[in-house]
Structure 1
Amino acid sequence: MSNIFREYLKKIGSGVHTGEDLSREEAADATRMMLLEEATPAQIGAFLMVHRIKRPTAPELAGMLDAYDQLGPKLQTDNLAFDYPVTVLGTPYDGRSRTAPVTTITALLLATAGVPVVMHGGDRMPTKYGLPLITIWQGLGVDFSVLSLTKSQQLLEKTGLTFIYLPHHFSQANQLVPYRNQIGKRPPLSTLELIWSPCLSKNIHVVSGFVHPPTENLFRDTFELRGFSHFTTIKGLEGSCDLPQSRTAIIGLNQPNINPSWERFFLHPSDYDLAGKDVTLDSAAQLIKQMQGVLIAQSEPLLSLAIYNGGFYLWRCGVCADMKTGLTQAEALLTSGKVANKLREISAFNYEL
């Protein structure tokens, strides 16, 4: 048992009246102890549950991310031969269960347009056990789970797209996954994962989905503490970075070297004749079939969702001057077969370790 960790646990677990928040340094130390298993299973479970009830503060979340930076995998992104900064797409690790995700199509569209993309996640995960990104990619013929970190770096450099796979690339964090099932709730790690960047540089663009409005303010404060000035927050489908078609998308844009840097943006799908019901996720097999149709500019209504998201991200990442142009280019990239060619390029990569 770690006596130091016990003190951290006592500090946050003493109740409403006497409990205290951890400092950034204490949160980083506590997270390192969990990742390195210096804390006991009982201590780790108690910490994650108490922190879930208490809710993390921005300094605590920044400290937890500091520990991830210290112990986790890091991609070299400063000297890549691309015209745009790397975009890191943060999406819930426990996947999707109700609505069809198009995050993989968005990533392919961006990479086709010259915007390098980094994604990250693991396998089916508590408490939701939804469809994870890694399974979707495997269904499309790309198995990121077999890549070493060196190969993941090479794939990013060659194709403009890669994936950090938790079980293989960050085993210390992956060994904390079973606690999610044991405590029956999403721990603060689930919030951390939405804004984590497995890149060495801070000269990147981080996109984070969220569900509850207070989370957005937490993200903003944490990014500020950590020196990230280029980020996007999206109240997306099931907390992902996928835009909904059934409602107005609530989006936060933070841009470096602009005053004021923060802008609230409301995106109405009806303004572009793309409003409708969100596409239902029925099964992984059906989704893969729909995505394969999208790659040849067929398979409505998923095609409309893919164009809507692709258009927004092409604009947001600086490829297009406005949303309307972005939508036109997203459709053109799909109908021309260039996005399908990008998928084939990634599939043809040498995946031998």
Structure 2
Amino acid sequence: MTLAAHVRTLGRGPGRSRSLTRDEARDAMRSMLSEGAEPAAIGALLMLLRMKGETAEEIAGFAQAAQEWGPDLPQVDLDWPSYAAGRTRGHPWFLLSAKLVAEAGHTVLLHGFNGPDAAVRNGLTDAGIGIADTPATLSRLLAQDRIAYLPLEQWHPRLFDLLRLRDVLGLRSCINTICRMLNPARARASVQGVFHPSYRLLQADAATQLGWESLSVIKGGGGEFERHPAKEIAGFGLRNGAPWEETVPALCDETRRLADDDAQSPGDGSFPAPQDHFQTAIVTGTAALALDTLGVADSARVAETLWAERIPPHAA
């Protein structure tokens, strides 16, 4: 089926248009990823979906096709997408959280692109997280450190082109959600952050469509999987393949925004150490949610113990 046919399905008008089925969405994504895709048709389809609102079936079909289009990667335990712009997040403490999960013995794959926000990419090396530019490099880093970061533009350049259409269209599209749902290394568990709360249930429902086992989606700092320790956190997702919802209580009583965090890299090739309980709670609280997603019992205690026992990066 041509991409134009899918545009017609979405845009016929009141009483005649409808959402795409999962198979149609899968076919549409294959067309968009092909070299011969008509740019005007791609833009029309993405904006029609934005106006209508994406369904879980559509997101599942798009994500499945995009995953199939990418190269085969070594399987990991935990998938950790990072695609937020960071405007309401301070320092990317979640990178230390991901490191804690790896130090607990679980393989972790971070992947993403953050637009003009360079904090995540700049913080990777300081946090001791290697950047993989090829599947072979990824395999080496996972064997060495149990954690690695995969830049979207290097492992899936065509999908990256679709993501960057935001610069042309002036609006976010469903590609942002699809990137979060990629799970490129076929992990058994995934953690995802969103900026808009409505996407939490959409992504959880799409994961059900895809047959995932374990997922945690939260409204996180700047749209990343990073919890605010002074707020209750509503979690959505899956546990053992079944729908899961849970409200996680606040870890501290403090009126403070993540965006107010002014932590700076020491400039010596190390990641800044948390300076107070609030910053430490971001790290351990986020790690605890990730460990819980992996099925670790008493995950909060495990995360706090791991943090207390580790050698701080600035002292290594």
Taking structure 1 as reference, are residues 171 and 318 closer, same or farther at Cα in structure 2, changes over 3 Å only?
same
**How far off is 1:191 after superposition?**
1.0
Q: CA 1:42 to 1:281, structure 2 compared with 1: closer, same or farther past 3 Å?
A: farther
One-letter amino acid of the counterpart of residue 286, structure 2: N
Compared CA separation, residues 316 and 140, structure 1 to 2 (3 A): closer
Q: TM-score, normalised by structure 1?
A: 0.79
Aligned counterparts of 2:2 and 2:154: Cα–Cα separation in 1? 30
Q: Identity percentage over the alignment?
A: 22
Q: How many residues align?
A: 313
CA offset digits 1:148-181 (Å, max 9, x no partner):
2211122112211012211111111122233111
CA distance in structure 2 between the aligned counterparts of 1:16 and 1:130, rounded to whole angstroms: 39
Q: Does 1:102 align with 2:93?
A: yes
Superposition deviation, residue 288 in structure 1: 3.0
Equivalent runs, 1:1-353 vs 2, <5 Å? 4-77=2-75, 86-91=77-82, 93-100=83-90, 101-122=92-113, 124-125=114-115, 129-131=116-118, 133-138=120-125, 140=127, 144=131, 147-199=133-185, 201=186, 204-256=188-240, 261-269=242-250, 272-273=251-252, 275-280=254-259, 286-289=263-266, 292-294=271-273, 298=275, 301-323=278-300, 325-333=301-309, 336-337=310-311, 340=313
Q: Is the 8 A contact 1:110 1:117 kept in 2?
A: yes
Q: Contact 1:119 / 1:163 at 8 angstroms: preserved in 2?
A: yes
Say if 1:62 and 1:226, in contact at 8 Å, map to a contact too: yes
Label 1:281 to 1:164 Cα distance change in 2 as closer, same or farther (>3 A).
farther
SS of the equivalent of 2:229 reads coil
TM-score, normalised to structure 2, is 0.87
SS in structure 2 of the partner of residue 265 of structure 1? strand
- Kindly provide the amino acid, as one letter, of the partner of residue 32 in structure 1: R
Structure 1: where are the runs of 5+ without partners? 78-84, 345-353
How far the C-alpha of 1:289 sits from its partner, in A, is 3.9
What is the Cα deviation at residue 314 of structure 1?
A: 3.5
Change (3 A) 1:321 1:155: same
Gaps of 5+ in 2: none
CA distance in 2, matches of 1:321, 1:187: 38
**Change in CA separation of 1:163 and 1:281 when aligned onto 2, cut-off 3 Å:** farther
Q: Is the 8 A contact 2:81 2:110 kept in 1?
A: yes
Task: Give the aligned CA root-mean-square deviation in angstroms.
Answer: 2.8
Question: Measured at CA, do residues 287 and 46 of structure 1 come closer, stay the same or move farther in structure 2, by a change above 3 Å?
Answer: farther
